[in-house]
Amino acid sequence: MTSPIIDVNTIFGFWPFREIDISAKALVEIMRVHKVLRACSLSTKGVFYDFHLGNEETWKVSQTYPKIIPVATFDFSRYLGIKDEIRQRFNQGFKLFRLLPDYQCWKIDDLRFQKVLPVFEEIGAPVIIGMQNSRLSTLSKIAEGFSFPIILEGVSFYDTGEILEVMGQHLNFYVETHWLNGPDTVEILVNHLGPRRLIFGSNSPLFYMGGAIERIKNADIIEHQKELIFGKNLMNLLGE
Amino acid sequence: MIIDVHAHYGKWFFAIEATGIKDTLHILDKYGIKRCVLSSSLAVVYDFREGNAELDQILDKDERLLGYVVVNCNYLRESRRALDRYLSKNKFVGVKMHPTYTRQPINSLASMAMMDIIEEYGVPLLLHTYGAETAQVEEAAIAHPDLKIIMGHMGGDMWLKAIEIAKRTPNTWLELCCSCQETGKVELAVEAVGAQRILFGSDLTLIDPAWTLGMVKDAHITAKEREMILRGNAKQLFGLQL
């Protein structure tokens, strides 16, 4: 493996649900062990408490740890000020945005979410959306007509058929890989959609990083396709 | 060398194509899996009689393949017949129960009666455990002290509960395959019950072995403990000659 690994799906901060060290320092150590060059990450303070404060913290941490690519997040339950926050964070230099409805009290079919999509379209930056508790087909309808890149996170081999249809319809949709752990899920998606639509993510440090890496390393696809998935596709999306 | 104690043969109601025996053998080659204990997916999700018979035909195709007899506690008499028929063959080394697909809680009368029967045969039981139902394993394990219960998926998202139960019940083992691959679960399990009661399973043909192997490699445990999890414990539990 010669290509660098860049992880689109990590977090840092504090985890209130069990005792685990998910500090930025711990994340960077995990990245070192697995030779992960860079990781997109955000503070969990922005997920569970206050997205403005969380985004501030994420930016600061990314200055301390250059391997961390800062990701801004927004909680649609708070909603007020969200459009300004998106524009401000984009102007500040955030290149990637992430929404985690699975951890918050809102859903993607919520009108608040739909009203903010034009702001994402205006700035054009990629947005990662957690889909663990949402239907891909629902997002497909809601995102009709928008062209900013959307990265689907938290979809698994259970969803393969729906991924194929939805991503076939939306060429601006990408899929994050950590739960594509079926024996041929990666291979099926690469065969049907091409290797440029998959983006490596691990969900670390919440999850062991090794499983997600090993799945792509051992996929029955060619080396060039692995390089795209492990980092090049994401770098293209981020304009780097 | 790896022993996989949780795998399947056959199709699923998901968009997975790598479910044929050639696919499975290719995957065993790729990861160096020397023994793989399969249950029939047809038997698990639908008809245990037809599925067990189909698996019986498959197991002779490669020396690495071993089988679980799938039982359905809604059919106690037929399940006993299946145990008699298949456990007399060397290739079948254990029993599989899946409470979800039989719609019988682990501690229901039917499930407990099924375990009464399985206990007589002295072979390990791979019991699907995931979510809230995991808590019911304790009652089953206490009621069946001679039954060796492998908690498949280690309780899934309720893995902390599974570890608690394993700590209190010496006749339970924790099997690792699961999409909930939360950091620290292997280390906590080893600390709580010792590496000797933890087993590697892949969940083939649903999950690629790379997923769980990556987790076991990542875990901060000793090389000896890793060896026990990946092969030693399974070899001992199933009495395998390798």
User: Which tokens is A3 given?
Assistant: 């290509």
Cβ B31–A218 below 8 Å, yes or no? yes
Summary mean pLDDT of chain A: 96
Residues A93-138 have pLDDT tens digits of 999 999 999 999 899 999 999 999 999 999 999 999 999 989 999 9
Query: Chain A: nearest CA to B183, how far in angstroms?
Result: 5
Q: How far apart are the first and last CA of chain A?
A: 21
Mean pLDDT of chain B: 97
Span A186-204, pLDDT tens digits: 999 999 999 999 999 999 9
pLDDT of residue B242: 84
pLDDT band of B231, cuts 50, 70, 90: very high
* ipTM exceeds 0.85: yes
What's the distance, Cα to Cα, between the start and end of chain B in Å? 10
pLDDT value at residue A14? 96
**pLDDT given at position A199:** 98
Q: What is the pLDDT of residues B151-165, one digit of tens each?
A: 999 999 999 999 999
Q: Which two tokens stand for residue A151?
A: 């990265």
The partner residue sitting opposite B182, judged by closest CB among A164, A187, A207, is A207
Strands (DSSP E) found in chain A:
5-7, 36-41, 68-73, 96-99, 127-130, 150-153, 173-176, 198-199
Pairs of CB atoms within 8 A across A/B: 94
Helix (H, G, I), strand (E, B) or coil at B179: coil
Which residues in chain A touch residue B179, judged by CB atoms under 8 angstroms apart?
Answer: 156, 179, 181
Residue A141 exposure: Cα atoms within 13 Å on the Cβ side: 7
Q: Give the Cα separation of B176 and B151 in Å (integer).
A: 9
Least Cα distance to B216 among B242, B234, B237, B238 occurs for B234
d(Cα A137, Cα A122) in Å, to the nearest integer? 24
d(CA A105, CA B228): 43
Distance from CA of A214 to the nearest CA of B (A): 5
Q: Is the peptide bond before B99 cis (omega within 30 degrees of 0)?
A: no
B31 to chain A: which residues are within 8 Å by CB? Answer: 218
Residue A3 has pLDDT above 80, yes or no: no
Q: Tell me which residue in A188, A206, A217 faces B183 most closely, judged by beta carbons.
A: A206
The answer to whether the pTM exceeds 0.80 is: yes
Alpha carbons B215 and A213: distance in angstroms, whole number: 10
Judged against a pLDDT cut of 60, whether residue A219 lies above it is answered with yes
Q: Which of B162, B143, B155 is closest to B179 using CA atoms?
A: B155
